Structure 1
Amino acid sequence: MNRPGPYLRLPGVPTSLFITAVALSVAFTAQSYAADKPAAVDGARISAADQEPGNWMSHGRTYDEQRFSPLTKINDSNVAGLGLAWTYKLDIDRGVEATPIVVDGVMYTTGPFSVVYALDARSGKLLWKYDPHSDRSRAGEACCDAVNRGVAVWEGKVFVGVLDGRLEAIDAKTGERVWSVDTRTDPNRSITITGAPRVVKGKVIIGNGGAEYGVRGYITAYDANTGKQDWRFFTVPGDPKLPPENKAMEIASKTWFGDKFVEQGGGGTVWDSMSYDPKLNLLYIGVGNASSWNPRLRSEGKGDNLFLSSIVAINPDNGEYVWHYQTTPGDAWDFTATAHIMLADLKIDGKMRQVLMQSPKNGFFYVIDRKTGELLSAKNIVPINWATGVDMKTGRPIVDEKAAVYWRDPEKKALLVQPGFWGAHDWQPMSYNPQTGLVYIPAHIMSALYQDVEGQPPRKKFKSMYQLQVNTGMMPEDPDGLRKLADTWTGKLIAWDPLKQEARWEVPYSTIFNGGTLSTAGNLLFEGTADGRVVAYSADKGKVLWEQPANTGVMAGPVTYEVDGEQYVTFMAGWGGAFSTFAGALSLRAGVKPNAQVLTYKLGGTAKLPDLKYKYADRKVDPPAFTGTTEQVDKGRALFNGHCDTCHGINAISGGVLPDLRMLSKENHQMFLGIVYGGRVNDGMPSFAEELKPDEVELVHQYIIKRANDLKKEMASAKTAAAK
């Protein structure tokens, strides 16, 4: 596949000679600046990334975000000899979702709470560490744990988005801060950053999170040298009483109704995916879900609500709208289109087409003309029931009214919708191998109950993002019910043919939230798993060729690089994120603990995997006697699942990343009100003094005591059964 660059080829100069000249120029630049100016990356170097495949200079390796490496020293004939080369322990054992950047022998990556690490890519030795001191008291305003998906580098600087909403530039040589900007449009709103920045034409581009907590989505470009804002693109309209800011908002405003969405913000956050085509000079962004999820509460149950759940093409020079394709008009299920966006050139019906590919949460795989936004094909990758297909004339999904349209049901029944709110494919990056012609997708098979409610409560910080959107009754408290539900939440690795729109091969997994994928020219596909393994498959047939334990769940996308003639493969490992916190009861099926670390492998590596030291290993179930009433338990359950479940698990069953409150010590039971009101800032727990009254805190406490006694009985029964 040809990747266009910003060069002008001279008439009469052979293409091969031109490419060679570009490669030599890039190599010379890299060698000249590597010693005294680390991270000497610019657009020319990224565009010519295939000429120096030993580096991984941008989030998807190349601007097209294919996550395919031309390296072949590790291949399907020798990968069985892969061994651990080095490890590095990150500071905080929470969710790890970063894609490392590797340039000229230096690895730049992030851990929880946006801490940045520069490591020697040969040995894992720490060169410097930068802690942006994210306001951890605001961790409760981030929907999906204190995660970060990595950095961008450009002309000697490293750029990181901080969980509390800042974008910062760091000197790549010293690890010292160069500049910092607050990207928030409103400091009173729960605006966060978990995604990795991208740099295009000297502009650092970053989106934000927070749709569930009531924000208006946008993406912003900043000058890489100064941090000065260049442009900002809003994804949903503002106050309808005011004129639209630009052409994009003029288009979008016609698709929204009423004004309730203004207080809730509308949503549409651009919290992850971007890709760029230098030849077309188009930046592609994936737009997220609504605030609230219920269309009746946000837009009178009418309208497409642009640009929710859409792919939008933007001119990166000025942030102006070019085209859009909406994957889920009027989204009502959290079917964000923020999943990985990849660019490729495919031969379709005998004609080469410049395409964009995405497999968002709604379950379909889309192939779209990236110049015009025309839909070329769409097919579901897993079983779904919310739609029966996509109308190729209109490009719209054919929604099954009886199965999915819960907000129009006069009886307000809960409807079981597949896929559920974590989708058929979430943020975990897929990859495309131009040699096999396959896209490798870490897929989910799950469903969720959705139900209309009478009214949207006032927007508040720390309100559970799911309590107002999803029927939490879907998660039973009893062990047998949980086991039955867990059987319906599984995962798979799918090798998808984008031309035939069908699976070539699949690998089943016991649970959702397995890691992103990496494919290589050595006929290899690498992936980490939720149940704590790192695996290499043959890219053509899906045969397991290599596997080792990771001592934790792996969610991030791996990378491969080469230094001094030796090829390495790196996995960022560490269990956490939305699944392991909110759906703790189901995530326990993965059987792993949080253990944030960098794992790097090479042929003949002999390093040992460090032992896992679990922070909460010594917790015991020793609750006070339950003296509450059924009424208190019912009210306490509602309050817990409205304020606490996002971190501590629905129905007080933790996935182990954050404390299981059923195992509180006697001392903490005695100090319960003080802990809830005082918070524990270092661990990311805010004060709930403004959210809960003392009598409400006591109701929550009584519910936790009840759940702790339930657990004690379950453990005693299990012990008795084992003895028999």
Structure 2
Amino acid sequence: MRKPLTLLALVLALGGCQKSAPDVEWQSHSGPDAQRYSTLADIDRGNVGRLGLAFAHDLETDRGQEATPIMVGGVLYVVSAYDVVEALDARDGHRLWRYDPDVRAATARGCCGPVSRGVAVADGKVYLGAIDGRLIALDARSGQVLWQTQTVDQADPLAVNYTITGAPRVVKDMVLIGNGGAEFGARGYVSAYDRSSGRLRWRFYTVPPKPGRVDHAASDPVMARAAQTWAGQWWRYGGGGTVWDAIEYDPKSDLIYIGTGNGSPWNHGMRSAGQGDNLFLSSIVALRADTGRYVWHYQEVPGDSWDYTATQNMVMARLTINGTPRDVLMQAPKNGYFYVLDRRTGQFLSGKPFMPMNWSRGIDPHSGRPDIDPQARYYQTGQARFQFPSSGGAHNWPPMAFSPQTGLVYIPAQDVGMVYAPANAEKQVVGAYTSGVAMAGGGHMDAAATRALYSGMKGYLIAWDPVAQRERWRVKQVAPFNGGVLATGGHLVFAGNTAGQLQAFDDTTGRVLWSFPAQTGVLAPPITYRLQGTQYVAVMAGWGGGWPLTGGVMALQAGKTIGPNRLLVFALDGKAKLPPLVAPSGPPPRAIIDVAPAINAQYARGDGLYGRFCLRCHGAGAVSAGAYPDLRQSPLVMSDAFPQIVLNGALAPRGMPSFAGQLTRADLDAIRIYLARRSYEDLAGAPQK
């Protein structure tokens, strides 16, 4: 006969039947209300010091990592450079499947590397926007292609210059995607596709078409209004306004918000004869979800000429402003202002600088229109101007986060300027990198000027009060351009940096509570999830993706932090270890020539050509601190192979574009002279003249 359970035995038996805390997924790119905030508090400021590596997964690329992982049903879905998608077990990281869309040949185009900001997951499908313009639906269990559609009109002669680097967004029964390529002649739009079939549901163009043309798109009714704000023959250049990142949906108002990019070209004088606001460039635009029809817009930079995009992430929240609860939309875009808008009407509520600037003298509190300094319009003055922020922005694509607990927004900000000067319009070639700005390689400065310029460039993590419109705290970073942010219910803020660390900060004071050496820069934003009772923090680690454009010599502030690209996943008391970082072996750096080249007109010309065609990958001053070849050291520069590579596309399958029809042999010789001089100055030990 069985004995009755003692009280202790009964307690133990019942305890053994108790379930662990429920699983919490990270289902979408930006999280609920696009806040990049999680209520999870198992990891908090009291125990975060115990956080350790649970597992790491090596990525098969040395290019930049920008993606937000998605965790659904115990599976992590990640996309690395070259749009390679992997499904991993979220408990231990073992791979379930891998899909490669084979886009390496297509990565010769685009502004900032073969990067991706993530996938979307819904209804058993994984949605990928590929750099070659395809939207692809994969089976979430197997990785098999279910459908794919080309989002770019292949009859367009500039179709090859459109790219996708942003993450798709799932809205109701649709999947939305935008595109990039404004510097190469693209015309911006956002498209909605049926999730089950890939059929186009609607499309909204962000700039007007050539006069007399009708798009037969959702944007048609508002394009006549937009066209009144343009002048000249803007359609020759595409117009720009690409929706390359920010797309968010508000189920309360059933509105979709898109952030639009810069003009094509940047130079307002070239693009639109220096006239008009150029709608809807550098704007937030609200659309009806089901139809894509225009509802309202707010233009942050009328007549933009500085690449001050409004494509940075947007956050929704409910704030009490002047005693009244308001549903708001917040953004800290490139231009340096922090904006708070009513998200139902688009009404401007407030806007204050979160970083130094000299392009604008303030914002009219009633109209929300910026007071642009006339000296900032370099194409009118004809004078070069050192201006803040740079085209890299006071805040770029690494997303900010908002904590409802503190009411603060956490911004990866930077204080960086650049010189703007008008380029010779006759030498701007549509289809090549066309900014209308005289881009220099940075090698014309002497050593003292270079040190002064780059030592003044700073990066910060800022806690910003959006109601009071003022800073609460800031943490200085080693260098500019740092990682995206996650806020949690444990009163923690997680963010990576270019110095190769993932860190946890106290969300009320900014005090660093924990730091992990990632062996490479961390620019992607972290996420958190709970699975089988354990809370995890996950982030993609890999330095690059947009950094070469604002980097070069500046990038060396963070140190040579190029290491293995990985997915890193952490948990309390995690015991996994990264293998020791082994420095790459090889011959010491040496100059590609042994005698100093003469400084002449060819050098100055080569400086400008390098700045326009090469800098975005190979770095300012020809200093490549990223994953691209350092041309100061490459023996190919002075060899017969150089024209074959640059003009004939010998390395196009590996991502190096052909500049046939854009550069002549004489242009190439000028670039060679520039590179030879930069190589000798830096690597042969000669003093800079």
- Is the structural similarity TM-score above 0.5? yes
CA shift in 2, pair 1:332/1:475, >3 Å: farther
Contact persistence 1:417–1:448 (CA under 8 A): yes
- The alpha-carbon deviation at position 476 of structure 1 amounts to 4.6
Of the three residues 367, 391, 411, the one matched with 1:421 is 391
Aligned Cα RMSD in Å? 2.2
1:596 is matched with 565
Of the three residues 674, 677, 682, the one matched with 1:706 is 677
Q: CA–CA distance in 2 between the matches of 1:405 and 1:616?
A: 48
1:443 has 2:413 as partner: yes
Which amino acid letter does the alignment assign opposite residue 81 of structure 2? P
Contact persistence 2:176–2:191 (CA under 8 A): yes
1:286 is matched with 259
Which amino acid letter does the alignment assign opposite residue 589 of structure 2? K
Aligned residue for 1:383, secondary structure, equals coil
- The alpha-carbon deviation at position 680 of structure 1 amounts to 1.6
Q: CA–CA distance in 1 between the matches of 2:23 and 2:188?
A: 35
- The alpha-carbon deviation at position 165 of structure 1 amounts to 1.1
What count of residue pairs does the alignment treat as equivalent?
660
Q: CA–CA distance in 2 between the matches of 1:615 and 1:674?
A: 28
1:301 is matched with 274
Q: CA–CA distance in 2 between the matches of 1:547 and 1:55?
A: 24
Of the three residues 385, 389, 392, the one matched with 2:362 is 389
1:154 has 2:126 as partner: no
CA shift in 2, pair 1:53/1:355, >3 Å: farther
Contact persistence 1:281–1:316 (CA under 8 A): yes
CA shift in 2, pair 1:396/1:605, >3 Å: same
- The alpha-carbon deviation at position 251 of structure 1 amounts to 1.8
CA shift in 2, pair 1:450/1:522, >3 Å: same
1:123 has 2:97 as partner: no
1:105 is matched with 74
Of the three residues 271, 280, 286, the one matched with 1:313 is 286
2:239 is matched with 266
Note the alpha carbon deviations across 1:452-475, whole angstroms, 9 max, x for none: 2342535344x3456x32542766
1:405 is matched with 377
- The alpha-carbon deviation at position 669 of structure 1 amounts to 3.0
CA shift in 2, pair 1:614/1:240, >3 Å: farther
CA shift in 2, pair 1:239/1:557, >3 Å: same
Which amino acid letter does the alignment assign opposite residue 419 of structure 2? L
Which amino acid letter does the alignment assign opposite residue 400 of structure 1? D
Q: CA–CA distance in 2 between the matches of 1:615 and 1:464?
A: 33
Of the three residues 282, 291, 313, the one matched with 1:340 is 313
CA shift in 2, pair 1:187/1:471, >3 Å: closer
Q: CA–CA distance in 2 between the matches of 1:475 and 1:148?
A: 31
Q: CA–CA distance in 2 between the matches of 1:672 and 1:529?
A: 35
- TM-score, normalised via structure 1 length: 0.87
Q: CA–CA distance in 1 between the matches of 2:494 and 2:66?
A: 16
Note the alpha carbon deviations across 1:535-554, whole angstroms, 9 max, x for none: 00011111111011111111
Q: CA–CA distance in 1 between the matches of 2:100 and 2:107?
A: 16
Which amino acid letter does the alignment assign opposite residue 189 of structure 2? Y
Unmatched tracts of structure 2, length 5 or more: 1-20
Map 1:65-104 onto structure 2 (within 5 A). Answer: 65-104=34-73
- The alpha-carbon deviation at position 392 of structure 1 amounts to 1.2
Q: CA–CA distance in 2 between the matches of 1:223 and 1:473?
A: 45
Aligned residue for 1:376, secondary structure, equals strand
CA shift in 2, pair 1:619/1:362, >3 Å: same
Q: CA–CA distance in 1 between the matches of 2:455 and 2:320?
A: 40
1:172 has 2:165 as partner: no
- The alpha-carbon deviation at position 299 of structure 1 amounts to 1.0
Of the three residues 231, 238, 257, the one matched with 1:257 is 231
Contact persistence 1:581–1:657 (CA under 8 A): no
2:499 is matched with 531
Note the alpha carbon deviations across 1:662-702, whole angstroms, 9 max, x for none: 11137973532233324323431122333333343333333
Unmatched tracts of structure 1, length 5 or more: 1-50, 719-724
Q: CA–CA distance in 1 between the matches of 2:297 and 2:499?
A: 37
Contact persistence 2:440–2:607 (CA under 8 A): no
Contact persistence 2:392–2:550 (CA under 8 A): no
1:646 has 2:646 as partner: no
Which amino acid letter does the alignment assign opposite residue 410 of structure 2? Y
2:335 is matched with 362
Note the alpha carbon deviations across 1:422-446, whole angstroms, 9 max, x for none: 1111111011100101000000111
Aligned residue for 1:485, secondary structure, equals helix
Aligned residue for 1:551, secondary structure, equals coil
CA shift in 2, pair 1:392/1:717, >3 Å: closer
Q: CA–CA distance in 2 between the matches of 1:680 and 1:350?
A: 61
CA shift in 2, pair 1:478/1:239, >3 Å: same
Q: CA–CA distance in 1 between the matches of 2:342 and 2:596?
A: 64
Aligned residue for 2:680, secondary structure, equals helix
Contact persistence 2:187–2:239 (CA under 8 A): yes
Which amino acid letter does the alignment assign opposite residue 132 of structure 1? P
Q: CA–CA distance in 2 between the matches of 1:151 and 1:473?
A: 35
Note the alpha carbon deviations across 1:260-304, whole angstroms, 9 max, x for none: x11101100000011111121000010010011111111111111
Which amino acid letter does the alignment assign opposite residue 665 of structure 1? P
- The alpha-carbon deviation at position 52 of structure 1 amounts to 6.8
- The alpha-carbon deviation at position 396 of structure 1 amounts to 0.3
Aligned residue for 1:621, secondary structure, equals coil
Which amino acid letter does the alignment assign opposite residue 183 of structure 1? T
Contact persistence 1:476–1:482 (CA under 8 A): no
Aligned residue for 2:427, secondary structure, equals coil
1:605 is matched with 574
Contact persistence 2:340–2:349 (CA under 8 A): yes
- The alpha-carbon deviation at position 180 of structure 1 amounts to 1.1
Which amino acid letter does the alignment assign opposite residue 511 of structure 1? A
1:635 is matched with 605
Which amino acid letter does the alignment assign opposite residue 247 of structure 1? P
Contact persistence 1:53–1:69 (CA under 8 A): no
CA shift in 2, pair 1:717/1:474, >3 Å: closer
- The alpha-carbon deviation at position 187 of structure 1 amounts to 5.6
Aligned residue for 2:684, secondary structure, equals helix
Note the alpha carbon deviations across 1:687-723, whole angstroms, 9 max, x for none: 2333333343333333323322222233x789xxxxx
Contact persistence 2:354–2:471 (CA under 8 A): yes
Q: CA–CA distance in 1 between the matches of 2:609 and 2:441?
A: 14
Contact persistence 1:137–1:681 (CA under 8 A): yes
- The alpha-carbon deviation at position 594 of structure 1 amounts to 4.7
1:220 has 2:188 as partner: no
Q: CA–CA distance in 2 between the matches of 1:384 and 1:643?
A: 28
Aligned residue for 1:366, secondary structure, equals strand
CA shift in 2, pair 1:439/1:475, >3 Å: farther
Map 1:485-500 onto structure 2 (within 5 A). Answer: 485-500=453-468
- TM-score, normalised via structure 2 length: 0.92
Aligned residue for 2:34, secondary structure, equals coil
Of the three residues 589, 595, 620, the one matched with 2:589 is 620
1:232 has 2:200 as partner: no
Of the three residues 211, 224, 233, the one matched with 2:182 is 211
Which amino acid letter does the alignment assign opposite residue 598 of structure 1? L
Which amino acid letter does the alignment assign opposite residue 483 of structure 1? R
Contact persistence 1:449–1:474 (CA under 8 A): no
Q: CA–CA distance in 1 between the matches of 2:165 and 2:260?
A: 14
CA shift in 2, pair 1:273/1:485, >3 Å: same
Contact persistence 1:672–1:701 (CA under 8 A): no
Contact persistence 2:22–2:532 (CA under 8 A): no
Q: CA–CA distance in 1 between the matches of 2:427 and 2:667?
A: 17
Aligned residue for 2:521, secondary structure, equals coil
How many percent of aligned residue pairs carry the same amino acid? 45
Q: CA–CA distance in 1 between the matches of 2:54 and 2:673?
A: 50
1:192 is matched with 163
CA shift in 2, pair 1:495/1:603, >3 Å: same
Contact persistence 1:297–1:456 (CA under 8 A): no
Q: CA–CA distance in 1 between the matches of 2:68 and 2:255?
A: 23
Q: CA–CA distance in 2 between the matches of 1:622 and 1:53?
A: 56
